[in-house]
Amino acid sequence: MRISRVEAIALNLDLSRPFSGGTYVVKSRPTILTSVTLEDGTIGSIYGGDETDTQSRIVETINAVYAPKLVGEDIRDFQKLWQLMSDTFVDLGNRGLHQLDMHPRAILMQAISAIDNAMWDARARHYGVPLWKLLGGVRDRVPVISIGGYYPPDGQDPSEAIAEEIDAVRAAGCIGIKMKVGRMAVDQDIERVRAARKAGGDDFVLTVDANQGWKLGDAIDFCAAAEKLDLGIRWLEEPLTWHDQTDGLKRLASKTRIPINVGQGEITGIACRDLMSKGDVNILNLDCTLCGGVTEWQRVAAMARFMNVEMAHHEEPQIAVHLIAANPHALYVEIFANKARDPLLWELPSNFPKISNGYMEVPTAPGIGVELNQDVIEKYRV
């Protein structure tokens, strides 16, 4: 079954208010919608990513560089197609300077990811099965947590704010929260996490995300205080500043029993290998809209399994639900229960999976199983 067309378009909407994490502020909700059409008219189509600055370059790379190479290829040959994209030389102004070149490389990897994911939708539709079944089919519902706990505007008590939010997250059907830390002093963040545990109760899944906001000493202090207070943190995400991601993480891991989760910004499987082998991390929250798509995510998941590392997925529930459902060592799917943080999640799919009692149902329709609302696409098209 041959590919007849590949196309991407950019979507974007401004949020009604900004959201502050450990090291950044989110003001808009961009994404890329990628479609792969097969010769029999089957269309695989999925949105993903939330890149603002380089969005147009990613879309251009998909349409001008990779699309012409893929037309005429057999949709079933996923290893071949991934390699074909990966081996394509694209001049994005790389300078032969490893860390500076990461920026243009990330553009390529996001383009490859978007196409790979849309091809998996087309492939699963071609075979007539939901994606998670095609990938292995471990479970038909997955536990869901909400990303939240952003820092409230000045004037609102941070501990009261998180307690209120946890009530809302529970009401949205989530089993837990991933809350932001790393922007305030460690003792103030500990107070917020303490308030979250009190509001959520013992069985509430409580994870924290510092967005690479801490130096090693801060992270060690946070872990020591959280363990002393027995706060039951399921994982600590991206604790350390960006330039200390292997040796620093390993030192932190030697000082705490709180599981460490990293990987959402990685754009290669090799980097994930290093995080596991050199960084001694416990969980990878690899993002298939960045790392090279479902194909590379599955390769990393297989490697992680042999290294006793669990898998999570950064955001993107529309596709993450399939990966979490298809891997026995995968944990939670993540949503934004606060609809103002991610309006697209609630507007774009016309049949978003049902969430209740802490679980999201995994789609049963062929492919990714998400039908996209055409009016919403036109409304937010860049």
Q: Specify the residue, 259 or 366, whose C-beta has the smaller distance to Mg ion.
A: 259
Contacts of 77 (CB under 8 A, 6+ apart): none
Piece of the chain touching Mg ion by CB under 5 A; list 10-18, 69-77, 207-215, 288-296:
207-215
Which of these, 272, 294, 270, lies nearest to 285 by C-alpha position? Answer: 272
In the block, tokens 């000082």 appear at 255
Name the minimum Å distance from CB 238 to Mg ion.
5
Shortest-Cβ-distance residue relative to Mg ion:
209
Piece of the chain touching Mg ion by CB under 5 A; list 110-118, 202-210, 336-344, 369-377:
202-210
Q: Specify the residue, 131 or 258, whose C-beta has the smaller distance to Mg ion.
A: 258
Report CA-CA distances (Å) from 381 to 33, 344, 348: 10, 12, 12
Name the minimum Å distance from CB 105 to Mg ion.
21
Q: What angle do CA 366, 367, 373 make, to 5 degrees?
A: 100
Name the minimum Å distance from CB 134 to Mg ion.
28
- Letters for 263-282 (x = contact with Mg ion by CB under 5 A, - = none) are -x------------------
Q: Specify the residue, 125 or 192, whose C-beta has the smaller distance to Mg ion.
A: 192
Which of these, 279, 355, 341, 350, lies nearest to 47 by C-alpha position? Answer: 350
Q: Specify the residue, 213 or 367, whose C-beta has the smaller distance to Mg ion.
A: 213
- Letters for 231-270 (x = contact with Mg ion by CB under 5 A, - = none) are ------x--------------------------x------
Q: Specify the residue, 113 or 264, whose C-beta has the smaller distance to Mg ion.
A: 264
Name the minimum Å distance from CB 257 to Mg ion.
21
Site for Mg ion in 162-191 (CB under 5 A): none
Name the minimum Å distance from CB 285 to Mg ion.
6
Q: Specify the residue, 189 or 237, whose C-beta has the smaller distance to Mg ion.
A: 237
Which of these, 142, 196, 140, lies nearest to 357 by C-alpha position? Answer: 142
Q: Give dist(CA 139, CA 121) in Å, integer.
A: 19
User: Is 295 in a helix, a strand, or coil?
Assistant: helix
Residues facing residue 3 across a β-bridge = 38
Piece of the chain touching Mg ion by CB under 5 A; list 33-41, 124-132, 203-211, 213-221:
203-211
Compute how many residues bind Mg ion; rule: CB under 5 A: 3
| Strand 25-38, strand 43-48: pairing | antiparallel
Q: Specify the residue, 133 or 314, whose C-beta has the smaller distance to Mg ion.
A: 314
Half-sphere exposure of 318 (CA within 13 A, CB side): 28
**Residue 26 CB burial class (10 angstroms; 0-12, 13-18, ≥19):** middle
Q: Give dist(CA 325, CA 143) in Å, integer.
A: 10
Q: Specify the residue, 42 or 264, whose C-beta has the smaller distance to Mg ion.
A: 264
Name the minimum Å distance from CB 237 to Mg ion.
5
Contacts of 374 (CB under 8 A, 6+ apart): none
List 116, 209, 280, 342, residue binding Mg ion (CB under 5 A): 209
Which positions lie near Mg ion, rule CB under 5 A?
209, 237, 264
